[in-house]
Amino acid sequence: MAAAMARVDDQPTLAAAAADLTQAAARRLDLVFRSGAALLSILLLLICWELFARSGRVTMFMLPPFSVVAEQIKTDALSGDLWRNLGVTLYRALAGFAIAACIGIVLGVSMSRNRVVRWFCDPIISVGFPMPKIAFLPVIILWLGVYDVSKICVVVFDAIFPVVTATLAGIAAVDKELVWSARNMGASERQLTWQIMLPAAAPQILTGLQVALPIALIVEIIAEMVMGGYGLGGAMMSASRFANSPGVFAGIVEIAVVGFLLIRAMAVLRRRLLSWHQETAE
């Protein structure tokens, strides 16, 4: 009797469980599709590349098939060349980015909070931002040589502008009532700057950093291509000098992957830092 009752009772729960299961499966499928869909177009592009390169319309030198390029990347990875070049490029791009981020934020904050600093720096920022900083490369080579310091300097020089302007815009947009509240509770000017304005402007500052990061990588690669030496850009240039076509294309693929991963890492960092923010709240 009791068993029969239990069975009768069980049926709806079982149905519900089955429904739950299919729903969970649908969600998972949806997730797979969505993350997969992002890569699908890339995959399609690679297949087109492979087919076109093997179609006989272009020579191996003009466009080596993707499989050959992949083979080249594998060889570089096994010999250790890839990792050394990657390490050098990442070190310089990220060091430049970090320096640009620190100086940029401090400069942006100082300009927002101090009229003299603003009066002095504002015109320089306005003139400097749209200027192609990469055009300074010959001067920087002249002053600082062709090694790490000069490359990091160019990266800083270029990546700092979006950080400064984002910090300025972010602080300008801080809610007046937030500032008044903090003042009301007895915050000093210094505390107001670092404890209230900076976190309140964090979403916009992070947007600035997200703009600055790919700039840092791009500028680093260009600097390497111009100055030579180790690094992904440098390796591409030397491959080009030796007419090593797969080597050149390998460089392009490597740079694309590195850039993609960097941007994804930055997006994750943003979500972490802004866990309190409306945009990440579900």
Partner 1 sequence: MDDAAQIIIDKVNHTYRPPRGRPVLALADVSLEVRPREFLALLGPSGCGKSTLLYLLGGFLPTEAGRILVEGKPVAAPGPDRGIVFQHFALFPWKTVRGNVLYGLERQRMPRSEREQRAQAFIDLVGLKGFEDSYPSQLSGGMRQRTAIARTLAFDPNILLMDEPFGALDAQTRSLMQTELLGIWQRTPKTVVFVTHDVQEAVYLADRVAVMSARPGRIKAIVDTKFKFGARDPGVFRSKEFVEKVDELWDLVRVEALKAQEEKVA
Q: How far is the CB of 207 from partner 1 (least distance, A)?
A: 16
Q: How far is the CB of 71 from partner 1 (least distance, A)?
A: 49
Q: Which residues bind partner 1 (CB under 8 A)?
A: 175, 177-178, 180-187, 191, 196, 199-200, 202, 275-278, 281
Q: How far is the CB of 282 from partner 1 (least distance, A)?
A: 9
Q: How far is the CB of 274 from partner 1 (least distance, A)?
A: 8
| CA dihedral of residues 26, 31, 33, 36 (deg, nearest 10) | -160
Q: Is 13 or 184 the residue whose CB approaches partner 1 more closely?
A: 184
**How many residues make up the chain in this entry?**
282
Q: Is 105 or 227 the residue whose CB approaches partner 1 more closely?
A: 105
Packing angle, helices 2-54 and 66-79, rounded to 10: 100
Q: Is 82 exposed, middle or buried (0-12, 13-18, 19+ CB in 10 A)?
A: buried
- Determine the Cα–Cα distance for residues 245 and 275; give it in Å rounded to an integer: 46
- CA angle centred on 200, ends 195 and 201, rounded to 5°: 115
Q: Is 196 or 221 the residue whose CB approaches partner 1 more closely?
A: 196
Q: Is 159 or 198 the residue whose CB approaches partner 1 more closely?
A: 198
Task: Write out the two tokens for 223.
Answer: 């600097």
